[in-house]
Amino acid sequence: MTSFLKFIGGAALGAAIGAGVYFVLTSEREEGLVHDFKALVNEVIEGGKRAAEQRRIELEMELRGESPTAQPASTVTKPQAPADFA
């Protein structure tokens, strides 16, 4: 009987934690740590998409026999974290 109670307790605890995480991550508030984290994740995803597109263009040019032109270092930008995200 005690192992059944442990199972029920673990399932209830897991459900409570899952509901809490869901509530925090789906919050529509535009402030706080969750918003900052979402903004950082979105920025990283967008940076990855830009890098993938750039690489796709380079590979297509290489396939056609053209040499991809190097981008000057002054035009390459690094992703920055939001100002209030430390």
Residues 43 and 76 in one domain: yes
Structure token pair of residue 14: 């897991």
Sequence-separated (6 or more) residues with CB below 8 Å from residue 57: 68
Residues 23 and 64 in one domain: no
Residues 84 and 67 in one domain: yes
Instruction: Output the CA–CA distances (angstroms, integers) from residue 23 to 8, 34, 41, in the order listed.
Output: 22, 11, 18
pLDDT at 65: 87
In this structure, what are the phi and psi dihedrals at residue 79, rounded to the nearest 5 degrees? -65, 140
Task: Kindly report whether the global pTM for this prediction surpasses the value 0.75.
Answer: no
With a cut of 70, say whether residue 10 has pLDDT above it.
Answer: yes
With a cut of 70, say whether residue 40 has pLDDT above it.
Answer: yes
pLDDT at 59: 92
Determine the structural domain holding residue 54 and report its residue range.
Answer: 31-86
pLDDT at 29: 67
Residues 39 and 14 in one domain: no
Number of domain units in the chain: 2
pLDDT at 78: 59
